Structure 1
Amino acid sequence: MTVFEAIPISQIGKGTAYITAGDGKAYPLDAEELRRAFAAIVHDNSTEMITTGEAAQILGVSAKTVARMLDAGEIPFVRYSAKGNRMVSRAQVVAYRDKSESHSHETLETMREAASQGGLDTILG
C-alpha cells in the first residue's frame, strides 16, 4: 500500500502529476498512481474527462466559479499537461449538478411550507 505525503503545491515541479484537495497541498503521483487515480475517478466506466469551461457550461456557472468549487474540494479533479490544466469527470460534474438541484428544490419546498404555516401565502396572494 502506498503512503501519500502531502506537500505544498508550490513545491510541485513542472510536468509533475498530482492530486490536490484544494487546501494548498498536493499529492505527487508516479505513472502507476496517476493511472489508478484516473481509474478511481471514472469508476462508473465514464472515462470522459472535461475542462473546467465545459464543467461551467454543465453547471450553469462561470469557469471562475468552477475553479473555486475545485479549490474547495467540492468536485475532484486532476492536473495534467505542461500548463497544469485541471480536468474533471463529466459524470462527477453531472452528479454534483443533480445533487445541487435536488437540494435547491428541497430548500424551496421547506420555505413554501414555512410561509404557508405562517400565513404568508395569503398575503402574497
Structure 2
Amino acid sequence: MTTFEAIPISQIDKGSAYITTGDGKAYPLDAEELRHAFAAIVRDDPTEMITTGEAARILGVSAKTVARMLDSGEIPFVRYGAKGNRMVSRAQVVAYRDKSKSHSHEALETMREAACQGGLDDIDYSAYLARYS
C-alpha cells in the first residue's frame, strides 16, 4: 500500500494529476495511482440505476431537461417504487453524455472547415467592430 504525503496545491506542476482536500493540500498521483483512483470512482456496473437528478448532474443539465430526454426516448428509463419515480442506467447516461460530446466536437470541426473554405477565418475583426462603435 502506498503512503501518500500531502503538499500545498501551489507546488503541483501544471498538468499533473492530484487529489485535493478542502484545506488546500494536494496528493500527487502517478499514472498507476490515477488509474486506481478512477477505478474507485467509476463503476462499470451496467445494472446500476440512478435517479434523474443524478443523471442531470452527470449530463450538466437540469432535471427538467433530463425528463424531456426521457420522454422523447433519448435515454431509456424504468419506473420504480410506489410513486413511479423514473430511474436510468448510469452506463446509458454516461454513454449518452460521451456521444453528445463527440457529436458536438464533430459539428464544431465541420463548422471550422466550412469557415476556412469560405474564407471566413480571415475576417478583420477590428474593422468589423469599428463599424458599430
One fold, TM greater than 0.5? yes
* 1:98 alignment partner in structure 2: 98
Query: TM-score, structure 2 length as denominator?
Result: 0.59
Amino acid at match of 1:95: A
Gaps of 5+ in 2: 1-43, 126-133
Structure 1: 4+ residue segments shifted above 4 A: none
- SS of residue matched to 2:79: strand
Aligned-CA RMSD value = 1.4
Contact preservation (8 Å) 2:45, 2:91:
no
- SS of residue matched to 2:114: helix
% identical aligned pairs:
87
Query: TM-score, structure 1 length as denominator?
Result: 0.63
* 1:89 alignment partner in structure 2: 89
- SS of residue matched to 2:123: helix
C-alpha deviation, 1:89, in angstroms: 0.3
Amino acid at match of 2:91: A
Amino acid at match of 1:97: R
- Aligned residue pairs total 82
Measured in 1, the distance between the counterparts of 2:104 and 2:117 equals 20
Structure with larger RCO (C-alpha < 8 A, sep 6+)? 1
Gaps of 5+ in 1: 1-43
Larger Cα-atom Rg: 2
Measured in 1, the distance between the counterparts of 2:108 and 2:124 equals 16
